[in-house]
Amino acid sequence: MDYYTLVLGFTFVLSYLYVIAKICGRGSKKLPPGPSPWPIIGSLHLLGAKPHGSLANLAKIYGPIMSLKLGQITTVVISSSTIAKQVLKTQDQAFSTRFIPDATHAHNHYQFSVVWLPVCPQWRTLRRIMNTNLFSSSRLDANQHLRSQKVKELIAYCDKCSQEGKVVDIGQVAFKTNLNLMSNTLFSKDLADPFSDSKDLFVAATDTSTSTVEWAMAEILKQPEIMKKVQVELAEIIGKGTLIEEVDVSRLTYLQCIIKETLRMHPPAPLLIPRRVDQDVELCGYIIPKGSQVLVNVWAIGRGFTLWEDPLLFKPERFWNSNIDMRGQDFELIPFGAGRRICPGYPLALRMIPVMLGSLLNSFNWTLEAGIVPRDLDMEEKFGLTLAKAQPLRAIPSPL
């Protein structure tokens, strides 16, 4: 068999399978609309390097609830706050099981993790322990002095860089500080060597608080007038050069607006953690088949033109007179998820982020390295475990 005959035969087989898939799809249960899948790969080829953005664009064609095949997995994507509320609150129980990645099967990790366990007695016990003994207000109040010490170390490091004219890698120092903030909250011990030159673990790993601090600083450096405005607030309420304490955060209205706006535009987990349905579920007149993966595109919700005025612009002022909260009750802004599977650590994140960000801004002025002008700052995203900046943010601190 010559080469051309082989190619022709292979093309015919693919075309045949595609037609069969289309015919079978017409007779199946009423799925939400979506792109027609190719054999074997489904619609994987449509995702690209930034699936959250690709899915947001597809939602403009197929609507706020759509279905597509990712390989052989039926995936339903939610891209509106109204339907997200239906999934994460009204029908929360039906959508409460996690879709478990293959990687978590190593050493049976998924059987012991509060993230991946189904809603069951073991999961309820773990959540109760976390809510009561780790992330309750009283417990966090009791050990806030440990986190305060880590912020002091961060500022001391930045002060040394300021004196020496050195550049600070915001993401790297934020990660190390956040890791030690977390480890001191849980174990009263550092897990990272603060601000060493080690780059095993620290360049590759980011988390919710780290990416949020880095994105917030990037947006502030891109619009210097925002830096001036928040520094005025900090000077008036806290005093210039004073480290922020957790009890101060409730009085810092503009700083809170900046954090909300950052999480609106740059949610750390843009598709949240995938969910799965264990039986057929009716949703908005469609049937979500048993075993389907369900994604909530909070990145698309946060940039929706029907919800937000000028959604692609970073404008903290949009939250000035807004009661929108981030604790899973207002579905226009759910960076930590909602319902019974909301991120259990969000109370700690909502303390750590403003304290770190506010202390950096109230202790130094910041400029971009190498004479980069604000309008030229690279704001490209890198999709991964969290939505990080593609290019690390490097800035120079100087005395206020």
Amino acid of residue 311: P
How many residues appear in the chain? 400
pLDDT of residue 183: 80
Burial class for 230, CB neighbours closer than 10 Å (0-12, 13-18, 19+) = buried
Residue 68 phi, psi dihedral angles, 5° rounding: -155, 160
Query: How do residues 327-338 score in pLDDT, each as one tens digit?
Result: 999 999 999 999
Alpha carbons 281 and 75: distance in angstroms, whole number:
13
Burial class for 294, CB neighbours closer than 10 Å (0-12, 13-18, 19+) = buried
pLDDT of residue 10: 59
Q: Residue 342 CB: number of other CB atoms within 10 A?
A: 16
Q: Residue 140 CB: number of other CB atoms within 10 A?
A: 18
Query: How do residues 199-230 score in pLDDT, each as one tens digit?
Result: 473 333 347 889 999 999 999 999 999 999 99
* Contact status, residue 326 vs residue 260, Cβ threshold 8 Å: yes
- Both tokens of 373, joined, read 């002008």
Give the chain's mean pLDDT.
89
The low-confidence residues of the chain, meaning pLDDT below 50, are 16, 19-20, 23-27, 198-199, 201-206
The model's pTM is 0.89
pLDDT of residue 14: 53
> Which structural domains are found in the chain, ordered by start?
29-134+270-302 (3.30.43.20), 143-268+316-322+344-399 (1.10.630.10)
